[in-house]
Every structure is written in structure tokens, then in C-alpha cells.
Amino acid sequence: MTFEFNEDDPLHIETLAIRTGQLRTEHGSHSEPIFTTSSFVFDSAAQAAARFGGKEPGFIYSRFSNPTVSAFEQKLAAMEGAERCVATASGMAAILSTVMALLQSGDEVVCSRGVFGTTNVLFEKYLKKFGVVTRFVALTDLEQWKAAITPKTKLLFLETPSNPLSEIADLRALSALAKASNALLVVDNCFCTPALQRPLEWGADIVIHSATKFLDGQGRCIGGAVCSSNALMEEVYGFLRSAGPTLSPFNAWVFLKGLETLSLRMQAHSANALRLADWLEQHPAVEKVFYAGLPSHPQHLLAREQQDAFGGVVSFRVKGGREEAWRVIDNTKLLSITANLGDTKSTITHPATTTHGRLSDADKASAGITENLIRVAVGLEHINDLKRDLARGLNLISA
């Protein structure tokens, strides 16, 4: 069941998250059911032929599509303001499906430096094998983007805010550049989610998600999604259907439920993160805090314009080096030492030796991944408990 859009008075994102893509069985179940079936039955040979031939809409086989997965896709598409969403088995499968569907040998990609580590590996190691060249540029330096684009450039790829330093891309300027260059702007919207930022409204062509993070929100399942126009999604769907990195109905159901509370959770993550960032900025053991919600952040105004809030990820440098950073991490009792993010549970990581450990020293230096950097993905615990947990290690350094 999908709600009709009234262009003049569209439903708000909180409502779309709850009311789009509703799915009921003949029993009238109010919560969406999970369709654990690999295939679907036809009434007749003629119907089977019509379904396979694309002449009649409907389900055929769960590698192609499944009602629970479709419900998730409809919700997310509505929230991103996209014509269509295709769900995938992981965030990486979303990126892979997009590039496999849209690129061919000889094409080029321009990608912001400091994207998710595995995205880097996918472009640099695997796409390269198929003759696709990727050039890496500084996210916030428009001149570098311009200089890296050639007539062969087909995709511009970025994350905003960036991980872990919370840099903000100017989506309006970059989408104008993409259009002028006949390239597509692809935005990985994992950190903000559509609850805080809708890149298509700023002119991006494709939005990528790792549903594993905030869309799930409680660290349970791996999944991903691509959102875009019908024409582009038909290509991505074609690859997915042939190659098979499809989302499972159970995971789709978890994400479907996650989306219903996404706006509330993102506001709460953001409020906690802003309080934590403010407090860290005052702490004598902290050298610098990276969070776009702070007025001291160089792109605070751009973030205010593009985003409805600043998200749940805060990074900071402690005074000292690896030893001091590890001391703060090892003195936490509440925060989980894990690289995942987007969970109700706050997590803490040392990027230089974990998520960004594969980078060369030179690449770490240019990406600002110093040994004294710590990343906290702020969850939904009480802010005072989070401060107290971090204060234990920080106070040892400033003592």
C-alpha cells in the first residue's frame, strides 16, 4: 500500500517513514509480515509467462524481489525523495551494484579521499582490474574535483559528513559540477540518513546506504540500498537480479521497523553528540574536536544549510599520541570498543589502527588520521553517563 502524493502538500518524512510501503496479509496484520519464501506461485501458465516477460507486475523469485523487501524499498525511496530504491545485501553490495551497472572499462571515477575503507579497496583494487580508474581528491576542495575530471569521468562519489573528521561536501556545487561534466553524483548518505539530509534535493543523482548503521539503528543486520531515478535504478536492479547480492526478507523487515523510528533516533543521536562535542571541546586533555554541529567547525554554516541536524559521530584528538588515545579507550566501561556505528549503544574506535589502519602513513597524514584521534559514534545512553565514561581516561591525561 502506497500513499498518493499531493505535490502541493506532501507528507512529512516522519509520516512517510511510518505509513509508506505498508504491507498486510489477508489476516489484516497491522505490522508488516516477513515473507520467507524463495519463489511465488502463478495462477496459470499464461500468468507465469506474463510475469517473466515483464508484462504483468508481481513477484517471481526472491532474488528478483520479495514483498517485505519491496516494502522497505518503498519506505526508503519515499524518505529520500527518490523514484525508486533497490535494496541490497550490504552497503558494499549497494556500491558494487551501482558501479557494475553504470560503468564500463575505460570509464573514470573521482572519489573523495577518506571514504569508508572498503569503498576505497573496491575502487582501487577491484574496479581497477576491470579498467576503471579512480582519482582521489579532498572532499571540500572544489578545484581538486574540477582538476580530476576528464571526458572519461562517469561518476563522482563522496560521503558527507566524512568519516571520521566530519568534513562537509558542498552538494549543490558538486552536483552542478557533475551535471556540467556529464557525470553522475553519487552520495553515500549513511551518516545523516534521509532523516537529516536528502542529497537528491541538492541535485545528487544517486544515494547509497549501508542500512547496517542508522537505518537498522540497533546493530542487528547487514544490508544496503541504492535510491535514484527509475531509469538509473532499472540498470542497478538489472545487475542485482543477475548477480544476486539481494537483501534477505528478514533483514528487510528489521530495517522496515528501524525506519519507523529513524527521525526520532537521529534527533536523539544528534542531540547527544552535540552535547558530547561541546563538553569535549572544553576538556583540558582534548586538543581538537571534529563535529559539524560546533560553531568552531569550518563548515558549520554549510552543514546547517544542508542538514537538519549534525548526526551521531564525533571525533577528537587528545593531547599526546597513540598511548594517550588508547588510555582513554581502555578506561571506558560503558562505551563498546568496536568500529560499528549507528547503534543505540555508543561505540569508540582508534581509527589509525583499525578502520584506517590499512592506509599508508602518507595517506593517513593527508586524511588527518593522527595517532591521537578517537572516534565516538554516540548512541542513546544518557549523556552524563557517556561523559563520565570518557572523563575517566581524559582526566588521567590532564592530571
Residues making contact with ligand PLP (CB under 6 A): 90-92, 116, 119, 159, 163, 188, 190, 210, 212-213, 222, 224
Nearest to 108 by CA among 156, 150, 157, 153: 153
Shortest Å distance, C-beta 182 to ligand PLP: 25
- Tell me the C-alpha to C-alpha distance, in Å, between residue 275 and each of 192, 268, 282, 326: 17, 11, 11, 23
Q: Which is nearer to ligand PLP, 158 or 397 (CB)?
A: 158
CA dihedral for 17, 18, 24, 29, sign (positive or negative): positive
Q: Which is nearer to ligand PLP, 87 or 397 (CB)?
A: 87
Buried-state track 287-316, b at ≥16 Cβ within 10 A, e below 16: ebbbbbbbeebebbebbeebbbbbbbbbbb
Q: Which is nearer to ligand PLP, 293 or 312 (CB)?
A: 312
Shortest Å distance, C-beta 9 to ligand PLP: 34
Shortest Å distance, C-beta 175 to ligand PLP: 19
Cell 505535490, located at residue: 7
Q: Which is nearer to ligand PLP, 150 or 340 (CB)?
A: 340
Q: Which is nearer to ligand PLP, 312 or 393 (CB)?
A: 312
Question: Residue type for 92, please?
Answer: M
Nearest to 171 by CA among 195, 210, 145: 145
Q: Which is nearer to ligand PLP, 286 or 313 (CB)?
A: 313
* Three-state secondary-structure class, residue 252: helix
CA pair distance 82, 164, nearest whole angstrom: 27
Residue nearest to ligand PLP (CB): 91
Q: Cα–Cα–Cα angle for 227, 340, 98, nearest 5°?
A: 25
Q: Which is nearer to ligand PLP, 112 or 181 (CB)?
A: 112
**What is the maximum span of the chain, computed from C-alpha positions, in angstroms?**
79
Do strands 153-159 and 184-188 pair parallel, antiparallel, or not at all (unpaired)? parallel
CA 155 from chain centre, in angstroms, equals: 17
Shortest Å distance, C-beta 58 to ligand PLP: 29
Shortest Å distance, C-beta 159 to ligand PLP: 5
Could you say which DSSP state residue 61 is in? B
Give the length of the chain.
Answer: 399
Shortest Å distance, C-beta 367 to ligand PLP: 14
CB contact set of 22 (below 8 Å; sequence gap of 6+):
1, 32, 71
Q: Which is nearer to ligand PLP, 1 or 121 (CB)?
A: 121
Question: Residue type for 202, please?
Answer: W
Q: Which is nearer to ligand PLP, 163 or 272 (CB)?
A: 163
Shortest Å distance, C-beta 364 to ligand PLP: 18
> Burial level of 138, CB count in 10 A (0-12/13-18/19+)?
middle
Shortest Å distance, C-beta 21 to ligand PLP: 21
Shortest Å distance, C-beta 212 to ligand PLP: 4
